Amino acid sequence: MNTENTKAQMRKGVLEYCILAVLEKERKYATEILNHLKEAKMIVVEGTLYPLLARLRTARLLDYEWEESASGPPRKYYQITEEGKLFLKELTLGWKELQQAVELLTKNHKSS
Amino acid sequence: MNTTLNINLGGQHFYIDQNAHEKLHEYLEAIKNHFQDQDLREEILTDIESRIAELLNDRIKHERQVISVEDVAHIIEVMGQPNAFKMDSEAIDEEEKSTHKRKLFRDPDDKIFSGVAAGVAHYFGLQVKWVRLIWLFLGLFSWGGFVFIYLILWIVLSEAKTTAEKLMMRGEPINVSNLEKKIKEGIDDVTQRVKNKDYEATGEKIRSKTKGFFDGLAQTLNKFIKFFTQFMGLILVLASSIGLFGLLIVLFTLGLYELFNVTWGDPFWPPIDIVHMGIPLWWAVVPVLFVGAVPIIYLLMLGKWLIYPKRVYALRLHLLLLGVWMLSIMLTIGVGMRYVSGFI
């Protein structure tokens, strides 16, 4: 067992949640999403994002539309769907529960 | 000197070095191979291509700059290897395993004669019984030629004795199909969760199951065909290598005769009395050997191509080989005419 792998697994588990969260307020194109995720050190290599986006889209949690950009070719803007918003709400709850559970467990066992 | 190509990537135009192009193409193919679901693959690939175009645009300073191998290497580093795209929890364990390179060994735990068949089966991720069946089939229809190859493999391959060697021998079956399965499972999973809310759930479940069965069948068939072509390639490479080696030995032996000026004591050797034709032995022998060698070289290349279909030989090489071959044929005819005219 090495810690890097375990950490990577933890991150991967919540990556979908993070992508939906990043898109909650406004639509973004892939590079913007990447910048957010990289800034937060949620992903290491960029390729990871694309299968997830495709997966979320086929699950109808995300949607996209093409838009002309001032510099270069048209961009594909991703936005969250109504279904996605519901999904995100549930995930937020789930995440909070998990956070509390972990906090509770680690605190109790540290102090004893 | 290197050729420069024009490519269209993500709707943008780039100049790219030939080697860099090859590398980029390989990388995109590797990604493509990871996703067998058609629609999803197209979508992922288009997205990745436009991202790569964007990254390249950031890197080049002016419009006519040629993209180099270093640029592509940088891109691959940023985007990551396709097997790092895996999303499931088992993915990371698999990554660890696949760092062990697969190697061909003889399997002492599952052998009839020597474990060659079992070793080959592990190498290609197939069941041993199929490999044995193919060996038997080929052995019978090649008048024992394959027995010879079997013996060579027996001699060349070492037995997997230690645990590490056994792990290496088994390695991982071709990862592509594994990964594709994983991703598909993942997608079905998400769709399932969403769809479960309505009554379509059961229908969806049945549908995804039958789909899974046929995909599995197609995969097995695909794997089998792939194995068979690679196997034929291996046989061709082995056989033609032996042929070329044989020719080289003939050449070498004759060369030694010539060098040490051995007199031909035996009246029946050499079978053709070239020595008295007044031309050096080399002149007579080398073209004849080349007439035989060029087709064998082509068989060798065909075998290699079956194993690595991506390698395509340059036109120059073909022209050279063809030229040498024609020249040799003409020389052989010339030598033959001279020989015949010697009798008249």
- The predicted complex's ipTM stands at 0.84
Give the minimum alpha-carbon distance from A106 to chain B in angstroms, rounded to a whole number: 23
Chain B residues near residue A12 by CB distance under 8 angstroms: 87, 89, 91
Measure CB to CB from residue B78 to each of A46, A52, A57 and give the nearest one.
A46
pLDDT for B331 = 85
Residue B272 has pLDDT above 60, yes or no: no
Measure CB to CB from residue A8 to each of B31, B92, B183 and give the nearest one.
B92
B7 contacts B16 by C-beta, under 8 angstroms: yes
Mean pLDDT of A67-71: 82
- Residue B112's Cβ-count burial label (10 Å; 0-12, 13-18, 19+) is exposed
Q: Do B44 and A50 touch (CB under 8 A)?
A: yes
Among B109-118, B157-166, B190-199, B274-283, name the one with the lowest average pLDDT: B190-199
Q: Which residue of A has its CA nearest to B35?
A: A51
A3 lies within 8 A of chain B by CB = no
Pairing of strands B4-9, B12-17: antiparallel
pLDDT for B134 = 82
Residues of B with CB under 8 A from a CB of A: 10-12, 31, 35, 39-40, 43-44, 47-48, 50-51, 53-54, 57, 78-82, 84-85, 87, 89, 91-92, 96, 183, 186-187, 190-191, 193-194
Give the minimum alpha-carbon distance from B126 to chain A in angstroms, rounded to a whole number: 29
Percent of chain A with pLDDT over 90: 47
Residue B165 has pLDDT above 70, yes or no: no
Q: Do B183 and A61 touch (CB under 8 A)?
A: no
pLDDT for B258 = 63
Residue B61 has pLDDT above 70, yes or no: yes
Q: Which of B33, B47, B86 to mutate to test the interface with A (most CBs of A within 10 A)?
A: B47
pLDDT for B286 = 74
Chain A residues near residue B39 by CB distance under 8 angstroms: 58
User: Which of B98, B99, B11 has its CA nearest to residue B51?
Assistant: B11
d(CA B316, CA B313): 8
Amino acid at B107: D
pLDDT for A63 = 92
pLDDT for B229 = 85
Residue B85 has pLDDT above 90, yes or no: no
Measure CB to CB from residue B44 to each of A12, A51, A76 and give the nearest one.
A51
Q: Which residue of A has its CA nearest to B10?
A: A73
Residue A82 has pLDDT above 80, yes or no: yes
Residue B228 has pLDDT above 80, yes or no: yes
Residue B30 has pLDDT above 60, yes or no: yes
B310 — pLDDT class (breaks 50, 70, 90): low
